[in-house]
Structure 1
């Protein structure tokens, strides 16, 4: 007689929108694999709620940027860390999966490991030990059992730095390739005049505040110098008011594309982009859109970031390609004059534009696009960990 399936309880912690999407994708695959034999508890957002998770608290409470803002909210943050760890220990799950946001999730993991060391801990999204705080990799061995990496060079970095086992599962952008690349009609628009220029000031209100004025001046200067273009500014619904306020005084008014679908449609017809450095640079590269990267922040944040940085570039696309093909402009270097000059280079048929396109064409091989989805690969490792825990009948 076949023994009944063993029910598994998985406790997940994701405190940002990007982590919420990752957690939801993982939950969906695990539910497909395990059916009713899996239960989820923990912390997550709307996407994870749609997969059946009842979050301990709204993750919007933790949408905080900047050292001053964090300082004001520190008592609440520390309370939520304690509450999350206490809930995980009380639940006694078969496995704890923390998703990104290491400043929060790693504090939870350390508390759980100290008080319930039998609970295995999987870290979904490798902390950027290769960029700063390399000593954190070795420290993670004390409370993380396996790291799931989104970038292909991260397992070697963790091995070199003495971190826990680390496996490349693929970036979630791999799952969006079809919606990022143009069909024949969209390619015609990408090649037509005036060219579509994407303007991407950031995905947080603080980033928008730092970049909007200089990006607006860049467009004005580019237009005054005789370059024709059609500007499109993709954003999300919750940032729309901040974006509208930011562009109110722009001499060159962009079309605003709201939501993921409109954003991707804009990517498919764009010829070039002015982007705040971040994940969006890899998204643009996979879409085949040449770009320049810019980054401005408060003086304290920037001083700390530059002091701790251990990488040859802050542009994610450059790091994955292994070559600085995307020009980057930081703080005072991110001036309208320099940005406008660089944008002309990627809008026109120049050596810089051709070099970027050649490099972007290598990304499919570099990122192993065409294998199974990152969510499925993450589920494989979690299920393998659960199988090791299963006692013989």
Structure 2
């Protein structure tokens, strides 16, 4: 699509995950309009897509409140630089990807210095899980919010903010790709009729430390009830040694794999026991029945009870509004309970099929369907610019 009028878009991403989204969005915008100039900040993927970042974003890759506080002076300076870029380049739109705290800070500066620039938030803050007041705050700062999940849009629309559901590009990529459970079994010498349980104890050190013991005990109980059970354990990169050291003694003669091999393993597995997180949706996409568990320390648990507003932690459950997959959280993270639920999935075809039927209903609300999310996002941004 060719346009005569030159469009300028300021685009901002200060996190690695946002860099990937930004790169895809830049490419989608270019494919829909070949007369766009981009300014702003991003990482290596956005640079490859054609953005010359006006400052390095590595300084903002922080974890925890102490590091965030230390980064605040740099964040304020960066927000002012982005706003100045909007002024100098007469930006038609400013797109802020992920990172709610920085996006909020920078959008305020753009509103102040370049009021004619339309402000867009890509990836909505998770107001459905906690701090719903962020929806009202978003409505005061942005002209458009691009939501990954279908159920998010109403939270913002009720405050008068234009919300567009675009889908989740990462989940869509998994849906489009083909992973082979048969090849995984052949590679690891697993007969097709051997029951296989995937175990995912988390990707953070604290998760592994808290979940390894109850997971290990649960697997021991399951192996007594399911003859010839084999297990495959996913060891995320930053906790690989910790997971391997713990899982090697678990029942089921565990196969310990890296994250890169996980999707083929999911396709091969008959069921999974997983720490709550993105991986739960990945398992659902691979049609693997799941039992979910999670446990945090006492301080984090007290904080979570104070701010979290959803009764569920898994996206498939939140989207469905009901317990599609069993969740054993905090005090309920008990080996016997988890073992009963997993064994039921391995031995009861009705229980397995019940989850798979629900996955087919819920996943389109989470992934966004077959059209690439970045294409929908680009179309919504260009429509906003046309309207202004």
TM-score bracket, normalised by the shorter chain, equals 0.7 to 0.9
Tell me the CA shift for residue 317 of structure 1. Answer: 0.7
Q: Deviations over 1:144-168 (max 9, x none)?
A: 11111111111223234x2511111
Q: Which residue of 2 aligns with 1:67?
A: none
Tell me the CA shift for residue 143 of structure 1. Answer: 0.6
Over 3 Å counting, the alpha-carbon distance change for 1:53 and 1:231 in structure 2 is farther
Report 1:16-35 matches (<5 A).
Answer: 17-35=16-34
Distance in 1, matches of 2:152 and 2:168, equals 12
SS at the partner of 1:387?
helix
Q: Deviations over 1:164-196 (max 9, x none)?
A: 111111222123213266588789999933222
TM-score by length of 1: 0.84
* Kept after mapping to 2: 8 A contact 1:199/1:273: yes
2:146 to 148, 152, 169: 148
Tell me the CA shift for residue 344 of structure 1. Answer: 0.8
**Gap regions ≥5 residues in structure 2:** none
Distance in 2, matches of 1:254 and 1:80, equals 46
Over 3 Å counting, the alpha-carbon distance change for 1:383 and 1:236 in structure 2 is farther
Over 3 Å counting, the alpha-carbon distance change for 1:77 and 1:208 in structure 2 is farther
Tell me the CA shift for residue 364 of structure 1. Answer: 5.4
Over 3 Å counting, the alpha-carbon distance change for 1:163 and 1:336 in structure 2 is farther
Report 1:21-100 matches (<5 A).
Answer: 21-35=20-34, 37-44=36-43, 46-55=44-53, 56-59=55-58, 62-64=61-63, 70-92=64-86, 93-100=91-98
Q: Which residue of 2 aligns with 1:316?
A: 315
TM-score by length of 2: 0.85
SS at the partner of 1:48?
helix
Q: Deviations over 1:297-355 (max 9, x none)?
A: 12222222222222232211112233312110111211222222221112222443222
Tell me the CA shift for residue 275 of structure 1. Answer: 1.3
Tell me the CA shift for residue 85 of structure 1. Answer: 0.4
Q: Which residue of 1 aligns with 2:165?
A: 168
Tell me the CA shift for residue 387 of structure 1. Answer: 2.9
Q: Deviations over 1:127-154 (max 9, x none)?
A: 1222222222122211111111111111
Residue 105, structure 1, aligned to residue 103, structure 2: yes
Over 3 Å counting, the alpha-carbon distance change for 1:94 and 1:196 in structure 2 is farther
Q: Which residue of 1 aligns with 2:292?
A: 293
Q: Which residue of 2 aligns with 1:223?
A: 223
Q: Which residue of 2 aligns with 1:284?
A: 283
SS at the partner of 2:305?
helix
**Gap regions ≥5 residues in structure 1:** 65-69
Q: Which residue of 2 aligns with 1:326?
A: 325
* Kept after mapping to 1: 8 A contact 2:172/2:370: no
SS at the partner of 2:202?
coil
Over 3 Å counting, the alpha-carbon distance change for 1:117 and 1:299 in structure 2 is farther
Distance in 2, matches of 1:155 and 1:248, equals 44
Distance in 2, matches of 1:29 and 1:103, equals 26
Distance in 1, matches of 2:93 and 2:236, equals 33
Tell me the CA shift for residue 238 of structure 1. Answer: 4.5
Point out the more displaced range, 332-341 or 226-235.
226-235
Distance in 2, matches of 1:141 and 1:220, equals 51
Tell me the CA shift for residue 123 of structure 1. Answer: 1.1
Point out the more displaced range, 140-149 or 99-108.
99-108
Point out the more displaced range, 236-245 or 353-362.
236-245
Alignment size in residue pairs = 379
Residue 243, structure 1, aligned to residue 240, structure 2: no
Q: Which residue of 1 aligns with 2:192?
A: 192
* Kept after mapping to 2: 8 A contact 1:148/1:169: yes
Q: Deviations over 1:237-282 (max 9, x none)?
A: 444345335546646663233244x222122212111111222222
